Amino acid sequence: MRIGQLAKLVGVDVQTIRFYEREGLLVSPERQQNGYRIYTQQHVERLAFVRRCRMLNLSLAEIGELQGYLDEPHQPCTAVNGMLDGRIAHVRAQINSLQALEKQLVALRTRCSGVHEAADCGILTGISAETR
Amino acid sequence: MRIGQLAKLVGVDVQTIRFYEREGLLVSPERQQNGYRIYTQQHVERLAFVRRCRMLNLSLAEIGELQGYLDEPHQPCTAVNGMLDGRIAHVRAQINSLQALEKQLVALRTRCSGVHEAADCGILTGISAETR
DNA sequence: TCTTTACCCTATAACCATTATAGGGTTTCC
DNA sequence: GGAAACCCTATAATGGTTATAGGGTAAAGA
């Protein structure tokens, strides 16, 4: 199949597929005489794998590492566990800091409820004074 | 004061201060004969304002907009409220999607607890199969 | 056949907010 | 006088796309 079909099938932009190829996440496919890329079922699966990893917020570098395990399955998978643990910790940290941020924003928001001049706006004076 | 002192005082990298100046978020300061930037107390306050806004996850464009209100205080501050509401909604959406992601990651993580070959790793097969 | 439409190609820049690097001048302290 | 610490500009890199420019190819209808 050609790149447009692959893109539609997996739900990825055509540009992004070419980008993944340049980054080494997708094996360079054969080409037709006219230069068009021709993809196989294996490409479909690899691209879908990459997309699922991205949905799990894995970085392209991490995905490349995981592909190493797919390609050489006779290694211990310790690093895979570690990677996931790292991601989970990271996501939890993100959630915590966003929740703290939400509190700050909400508190700031209550300082200006009516419509008045910017000079008196509790939000602006709130930020100017200190927001911590 | 010179740029290094300002940087230390506010807790911003020197490079970042020059960047803010180029972006129009910080008024260009006077220069010494040797070309060194000389900052005043007003610069300190503006830079601190920018930093506090950044800690609230406001974009540089939004910060520029807020500065417009600081500079011309006799406008209604409706847009300030709107901006904050937008941010709050955005942060809440982020938290929700991260919480969903955390669940997925944790579920995936339980699929591989022992150390064995990558070929049998429940994490890799889990991602390959489908993770939704 | 001609033409429109939809597709494909490469190369390069834009997005965002920084951080890094290269290459060079100035000040300060010992 | 020399080294460390500071300052300057300009440019590239980061991450993961998305957009743009400029051009070739293919499948469809008129």
Spell out which residues of chain A touch residue B66, defining contact as CB-CB under 8 Å: 124, 127
Q: What is the pLDDT of residues A15-44, one digit of tens each?
A: 999 999 999 999 999 999 999 999 999 999
Identify the helix (H) or strand (E) that includes residue B38.
strand B37-38
The model's confidence at residue B132, banded by pLDDT at 50, 70 and 90, is very low
The model's confidence at residue B113, banded by pLDDT at 50, 70 and 90, is low
Angle CA A79–A52–A97, to nearest 5: 75
Q: Please provide the average confidence, as pLDDT, over all residues in chain B.
A: 89
The answer to whether the CB atoms of A49 and B128 lie below 8 A apart is: yes
Q: Is the pLDDT of residue A131 over 50?
A: no
pLDDT on residue B130: 58
Q: What is the pLDDT of residues B29-56, one digit of tens each?
A: 999 999 999 999 999 999 999 999 999 9
Question: Residue A29: which CATH number?
Answer: 1.10.1660.10
CA distance A38 to chain B (A): 22
pLDDT on residue A52: 93
The answer to whether the CB atoms of B117 and A75 lie below 8 A apart is: yes
Q: What is the pLDDT of residues B42-95, one digit of tens each?
A: 999 999 999 999 999 999 999 999 999 988 888 888 888 889 999 999 999 999
Nucleotide nearest to B25 (CA to C1'): C17
**Spacing of A3 CA from C17 C1' in Å:** 33
B120-127: long-range pairs with CB below 8 Å, 24+:
B120/A77, B121/A69, B121/A77, B121/A80, B123/A77, B123/A80, B123/A81, B123/A84, B124/A66, B124/A69, B124/A70, B124/A77, B124/A80, B127/A49, B127/A52, B127/A53, B127/A56, B127/A66
Residue B66: C-alpha distances to residues A4, A121, B80, B83 (Å): 44, 11, 7, 9
pLDDT on residue A113: 66
Spell out which residues of chain A touch residue B56, defining contact as CB-CB under 8 Å: 101, 104-105, 108, 127, 131
Spell out which residues of chain A touch residue B105, defining contact as CB-CB under 8 Å: 56, 84, 87-88, 91
Residues 6+ apart with CB under 8 A from B42: B27
**Spacing of B51 CA from D14 C1' in Å:** 21
Q: What is the pLDDT of residues A94-123, one digit of tens each?
A: 999 999 999 989 988 888 767 677 766 767
pLDDT on residue B17: 97
**Spacing of B22 CA from D11 C1' in Å:** 15
What is the Cβ-side half-sphere exposure of residue A95, based on CA atoms within 13 angstroms? 15
| Residue predicted with more confidence, A124 or A42 | A42
Burial class (CB in 10 A: 0-12, 13-18, 19+), B44: middle
Q: Please provide the average confidence, as pLDDT, over all residues in chain A.
A: 89
Nucleotide nearest to A5 (CA to C1'): C7
CA distance B23 to chain A (A): 20
Nucleotide nearest to A12 (CA to C1'): D17
Q: Is the pLDDT of residue B131 over 50?
A: no
Range of the domain at A61: 3-130
Q: Which residue of B has its CA nearest to A68?
A: B118
The domain tally of chain A equals 1
